[in-house]
């Protein structure tokens, strides 16, 4: 979700496997996000670079785009 417009960038319906998450994360990484906030699912650590990845329990996965 884009921070300012709250527009959904991408989504996937189904189980959270490394393959399915990888497809969504790759699309998001092409947009050069400043921060990606996820829950504590361990698969995210292997898919999202540490410099943009934040973990917060019990939140929806949120991607902040832009250099604000």
Gap between the Cα atoms of 2 and 66, Å rounded: 8
**Within a domain: residue 41?**
yes
Mean pLDDT across the stretch 10-32?
84
In angstroms, the CA 39 to CA 47 distance is: 13
Token pair of 18, please? 């490394």
Task: With respect to residue 35, please indicate whether it lies within any of the assigned structural domains.
Answer: yes
* Residue 68 confidence (pLDDT): 47
- Can you give the residue range of the structural domain that contains 37? 18-65
- Structural domain total, the chain: 1
pLDDT of residue 57: 72
Is the CB of residue 16 less than 8 Å from the CB of residue 40? no
User: Model's pTM, two decimal places?
Assistant: 0.69
34 lies in some domain: yes
Sequence-separated (6 or more) residues with CB below 8 Å from residue 38: 44, 48, 53, 54, 55, 56, 59, 61, 62
Is position 3 within any domain?
Answer: no
pLDDT in tens, 22-56: 988 888 898 888 888 888 888 989 999 999 998 88
Instruction: Tell me what the mean pLDDT of segment 57-67 comes to.
Output: 61
């Amino acid at each position: 979700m884009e921070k300012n417009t709250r527009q959904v960038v991408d989504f996937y319906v189904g189980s959270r496997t490394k393959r399915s998450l990888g497809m969504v994360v790759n699309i998001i990484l092409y947009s050069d996000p400043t921060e990606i906030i996820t829950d504590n699912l361990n698969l995210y650590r292997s898919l999202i670079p540490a410099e943009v990845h934040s973990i917060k329990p019990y939140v929806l996965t949120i991607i902040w785009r832009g250099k604000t």
